[in-house]
Amino acid sequence: MVAKTSPGRPKASSQNRRDQISKVAARLFSDLGYEKTTIRLVADEAGVDPKLVMHYFGNKQRLFVATMKVPSEVHAALTLLKLTPKASWGNRIADVIWLAQKSSAIETLVGVIRASSSEPEAAEMFREFYLENLLLPMVSQLDVDHREIRAVMMSSLMAGYVFTTQIVGLADYLKLDSKKTKKLFASLVQTILTSEIGKTSAKTKRANS
Amino acid sequence: MVAKTSPGRPKASSQNRRDQISKVAARLFSDLGYEKTTIRLVADEAGVDPKLVMHYFGNKQRLFVATMKVPSEVHAALTLLKLTPKASWGNRIADVIWLAQKSSAIETLVGVIRASSSEPEAAEMFREFYLENLLLPMVSQLDVDHREIRAVMMSSLMAGYVFTTQIVGLADYLKLDSKKTKKLFASLVQTILTSEIGKTSAKTKRANS
DNA sequence: CGATTTATTCTACGCATGTTGAATAATGCC
DNA sequence: GGCATTATTCAACATGCGTAGAATAAATCG
C-alpha cells in the first residue's frame, strides 16, 4: 500500500494514473478472477483511493471490459497468417501462443477465461472477442470445410491449455519440457486445421444430439 | 421456493434430505460457479433452511468437496481401457466424454473447472482428482514416452472442451454437428496419445523456458 | 414413560462488497 | 485573476454473504 496524499489535484500526474490503475486491474483479474478482484484491492495496489477507480471507469464491469481487450499484437499475429504455408500453421500458431505466454499479453486471455466461469457477460466477451473476431476469421483464411467445428476445437485447445497451465498450474507443477510440449501442441493445432472430418450430408446433419 | 414447515423433526424423512441438498448443490455449482452458489440459494431451491445445509455439511467448502466427487462410472470407464487396442483409444475416450455430457455426470467436472477459476483449493482438487488420479494413470496404461506432457494435453483438451461447450456455450450457439465434432475430438485424443514427440536428452531438458 | 439425540427452523452477528455524496485542491481557460 | 473543470480523498450506506446460537418437535432408546 503506497502512502496516499491529501485530496485535491496533485501537481503533476493524470493520464498515467488511469493507465496505472488499468495495469494493476489487468494483473489482478488475471490472478484472482472477477469476484476476488475488488475495487478496493485494485485501488490499494495502485496506491489510490477506490473512488478514483470509479471516477475513471464508472463501475466494476466497465473496468473489466476496458482492461481485458485482446492485445493488438496477438490479434494481428493470428489474423495475418495468409502467407504462411498450410503445413506450418500449427507451428506458427504455437509460436504466437508461446510468445504471449512470456509477456503480459496472456493476462487478458486468462482474465476473460477466469471471469467466464462466474460471469455470463464475460463468457459472452469470450465468444465475441476470441471466437468470432479471432478464431473463426483465422480458420476461414485456410480453405477448409467445417470451419466452425475447427474453430471451436481451437478455442477448446487454447482455453484448455491456458486453464491447465495458468489456472491449475500443472505445467509448472510437473516441470514440463516447454519445447516438447510446444511440439505436441503444434501437432494438435495442425490436426484441428487439416484433419479429414467427413462430408456434410443432410443425414448426418440431422443426427444432432 | 417450497413452503417450509415449522421447526422440529418431521414425521418421515431424513437421509433423503441430505442427498436432495447435495443434488441441488451440484447443479448450482455447475451452473453458477462457486461464489454465486450461496448457501441460502441452495437451501431455497432444496426447500429447506440454510442452517440445515450447515448442519449436514459443516461449511460451504466441505459442501463443495462432498458434492464434486468424480462419478465412479466415469472413473472406471477411463481407467479400464487396458484391453482396448491402441488405435481405438481416441474413439473410446470420446465415447466416454460424450456419454457423460448427456448425463448429470458432467456436473462435477464443470463445477470443479468453474470453481478453479476463483478458488485455488478447487484448482488443487482438479490436479488431484483429474490429473493424478484419472489422466496420468490412464496415459500410463499405454506404453508410451512423455506421459506427463500427454496427460497435461489430455487435461487441456478435456477442460477446454468443457469450457467451450458448457461454460461459453459455443457448441449450442453454433449448432455444431455432434457426430463430426466427436470425430475431430477423437482424432485429437489419438494424436495426444500416439504422436511422436522426440527423445529425452539432457540438452533439450535444460532449455526449459 | 422419560431422557437423549436428531432434524429442522428462526433470528441475528460481523464482515466485505459495489457504489455514492460531499469536500478539497490544483489546473486550464477567458 | 477569477471560474469552471478535473483529479483526488474521506466517510458512509445498503446489501448480501458465511456462519453461529437458541429454540422446537419428532424419533429413538433405556
Mean pLDDT by 10 residues, chain B (209 residues): 59 78 98 98 97 97 97 90 89 96 96 98 98 96 94 98 98 97 98 88 47
B174–chain A nearest CA distance, Å: 7
Provide CB contacts within 8 A for A46, sequence distance 6+. Answer: A2, A20, A21, A24, A53
A16 touches strand D (CB under 7 A): no
3-state secondary structure of B103: coil
What is residue B206's predicted lDDT score, i.e. its pLDDT? 46
* Residue A206 confidence (pLDDT): 46
Confidence at residue B3, expressed as pLDDT on a 0 to 100 scale: 44
Cβ A183–B174 below 8 Å, yes or no? no
- As a whole number of angstroms, the distance between CA A62 and CA A32 comes to 17
Q: Is the pLDDT of residue A203 over 60?
A: no
Q: Which of A74, A169, A68 is nearest to A126 (CA)?
A: A68
Q: Which nucleotide is nearest to A16 (CA to C1')?
A: D7
Q: Is B140 exposed, middle or buried (0-12, 13-18, 19+ CB in 10 A)?
A: middle
- Closest-CA residue of chain B to A33: B118
| Mean pLDDT value across residues A151-172 | 98
Task: State the pLDDT at residue B122.
Answer: 98
pTM above 0.85, yes or no: yes
Q: Which residue has the higher pLDDT, B143 or A22?
A: A22
CA atoms within 13 A on the CB side of A11: 0
Where is B157: in which H helix or E strand? helix B147-162
Tell me, what amino acid is at B127?
R
pLDDT value, residue A205 = 45
Cβ contact A55 with chain D strand, < 7 A: yes
When pLDDT is cut at 50, 70 and 90, the band that residue A201 belongs to is low
How would residue A208 be classed by pLDDT, with cut points 50, 70 and 90?
A: very low
Confidence tier at A11 by pLDDT (50, 70, 90): low
The per-residue pLDDT for range A107-155, each reduced to its tens digit, is: 999 999 999 999 999 999 999 999 999 999 999 998 899 999 999 999 9
Is the model's pLDDT at A207 over the cut of 90? no
Measure B170 CA to nearest chain A CA, in Å: 7
Alpha-carbon span A121 to A135, nearest angstrom: 19
Chain A residue with CA closest to B126: the answer is A168
Burial environment of residue A13 by CB neighbours within 10 A (0 to 12, 13 to 18, 19 or more): exposed
pLDDT at position A13 over 70: no
Instruction: Give the CA A49 to C1' D7 distance in Å.
Output: 11
Which chain D positions have some atom within 7 A of a protein CB? Answer: 6-12, 16-27
- Gap between the Cα atoms of A190 and A142, Å rounded: 12
Q: pLDDT by residue (tens digit) across A83-104?
A: 889 899 999 999 999 999 999 9
* Nearest 10 degrees: Cα torsion A52, A55, A59, A62: -110
pLDDT value of residue A28: 98
